[in-house]
């Protein structure tokens, strides 16, 4: 696979613990397909999370402060050589028509919380910590594209079951399918987020729904905040406030006469993927009709 050099254009939070990293490849054109990923090459580095504040965004600062995540030293200056090009794989959020400007949605990998705090004695994920430490103007190196979670080119109905940073996978596929290919296939997106502040690419997905009558967008929240409820979020509606797989089952899957006539594209955190895959198995969906982009633990 080819290796690339790019310059960071922006690196701002789009959810409480998720950034959208935007980079531009210089000197030569890059090509890739939706559903692929790139491996970032991580140099030895050191950072202090206090310096991340200006790119976190006012909307998310309180959660970071409450969890004690600022002024935390991250030291990977002795990163072994074998880890520098290891499993730092990030799915592409951009789509080919955006040219050399690439987007990635990246969740910070934190240790399990104890009583609402994240223990400082357990190291954070070195890949995501590196990504969160990047500033506009920084130069990065990566290789790819890799992966086989590609679009199957037939006439089957498409259902995207997505959570969290998996929005990258959904955006790349959907923008290419609808904006570039002008597909006539029936396409639906079920996106699961914890709360409204963690909903990624809502503006673009809603615009797709307005522009393309064959596309439907469903947002499901698992833990809406009091401020969401004050804004009118329907906490008693099981299609809107629920675990994603349960909302999807009630809202669409039960009405599909032959689920194996559909293709299901799944990407999200491990628990979401597990729930979705078990649900589809319960409905006897053949594994060949499921495309999984698994971020892993």
Report if residue 127 sits inside a domain. yes
What is the model's pLDDT at position 295?
61
Q: How far lies 66's CA from each of 24, 61, 118, 200, in Å?
A: 34, 9, 10, 22
Q: Do 180 and 137 belong together in one domain?
A: no
Q: Do 114 and 197 belong together in one domain?
A: no
Q: What is the pTM of this model?
A: 0.94
Residue with tokens 């970071």: 64
Report if residue 151 sits inside a domain. no
Of 49, 18, 264, 270, nearest in space to 156 by CA:
264
Q: Do 169 and 275 belong together in one domain?
A: yes
Q: Do 141 and 57 belong together in one domain?
A: yes
From 146, 165, 185, give the residue that closes a domain.
146
Report if residue 234 sits inside a domain. yes
Query: Mean pLDDT score of the chain, rounded to an integer?
Result: 93
Q: How many Cα neighbours within 13 Å face the side chain of 120?
A: 11
Domain that holds residue 135: 3-146
Q: Do 184 and 140 belong together in one domain?
A: no
pLDDT digits (tens, 9 = 90+) for 6-45: 999 999 999 999 999 999 999 899 999 999 999 999 999 9
Helix axes 202-211, 167-175, angle to 10 degrees: 30
Looking at the structure of the chain, the number of domains it has is 2
Is residue 262 pLDDT above 70, yes or no? yes
Look up the CATH number of the domain holding residue 264: 3.40.50.80
Q: Do 187 and 81 belong together in one domain?
A: no
Q: Do 54 and 174 belong together in one domain?
A: no
pLDDT digits (tens, 9 = 90+) for 207-244: 999 999 999 999 999 999 999 999 999 999 999 999 99
Task: Tell me phi and psi for residue 222, to 5 degrees.
Answer: -90, -30
Question: What is the spatial distance between Cα 259 and Cα 205, in angstroms, rounded to a whole number?
Answer: 24
Q: Do 161 and 236 belong together in one domain?
A: yes
Q: Do 7 and 141 belong together in one domain?
A: yes
Of 112, 106, 111, nearest in space to 132 by CA:
106
From 119, 146, 173, give the residue that closes a domain.
146
Q: Do 129 and 43 belong together in one domain?
A: yes
Q: How many Cα neighbours within 13 Å face the side chain of 248?
A: 27
Give me the DSSP letters along 52-104: GHHHH-HHHHHHHHHTT-SS-EEEETT--HHHHTSS-EEE--S-GGGTTEEEE
Classify residue 276 as exposed, middle or buried by CB count within 10 Å of its CB (0-12, 13-18, 19+). buried
From 112, 146, 180, give the residue that closes a domain.
146
Mean pLDDT of 87-100: 93
Q: Do 178 and 49 belong together in one domain?
A: no
Is residue 71 within 8 Å of 120, Cβ to Cβ?
no
Look up the CATH number of the domain holding residue 109: 2.40.30.10
139-146 and 37-40 as β-strands: parallel, antiparallel, unpaired?
antiparallel
């Amino acid at each position: 696979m080819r290796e690339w050099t790019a310059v960071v254009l922006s690196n701002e939070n789009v959810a409480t613990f998720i950034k959208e990293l935007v980079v531009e490849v210089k000197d030569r054109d890059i090509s890739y397909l939706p559903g692929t990923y790139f491996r970032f090459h991580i140099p030895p580095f050191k950072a202090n999370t206090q310096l991340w504040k200006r790119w976190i965004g006012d909307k998310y600062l309180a959660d970071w402060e409450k969890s004690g995540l600022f002024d935390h030293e991250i030291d990977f200056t002795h990163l072994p050589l074998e880890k520098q090009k290891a499993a730092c794989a990030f799915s592409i959020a951009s789509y080919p028509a955006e040219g050399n400007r690439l987007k990635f949605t990246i969740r910070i990998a934190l240790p399990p919380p104890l009583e609402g705090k994240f223990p400082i004695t357990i190291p954070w994920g070195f890949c995501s910590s590196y990504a969160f430490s990047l500033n506009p103007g920084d130069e990065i190196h990566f290789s790819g594209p890799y992966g086989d979670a590609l679009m199957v080119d037939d006439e089957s109905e498409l259902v995207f079951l997505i959570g969290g940073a998996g929005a990258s996978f959904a955006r790349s596929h959907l923008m290419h399918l609808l904006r570039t290919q002008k597909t006539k296939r029936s396409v639906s997106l079920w996106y699961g987020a914890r709360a409204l502040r963690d909903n990624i690419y809502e503006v673009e997905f809603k615009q797709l729904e307005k522009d393309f009558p064959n596309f439907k967008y469903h947002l499901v929240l698992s833990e809406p905040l009091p401020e969401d409820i004050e804004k009118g979020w329907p906490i008693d509606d099981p299609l809107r406030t629920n675990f994603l797989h349960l909302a999807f089952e009630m809202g669409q899957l039960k009405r599909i006469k032959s689920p194996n006539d559909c293709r299901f594209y799944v990407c999200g955190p491990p628990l979401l993927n597990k729930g979705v895959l078990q649900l589809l198995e319960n409905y006897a969906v053949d594994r060949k009709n499921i495309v999984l982009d698994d971020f892993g633990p």
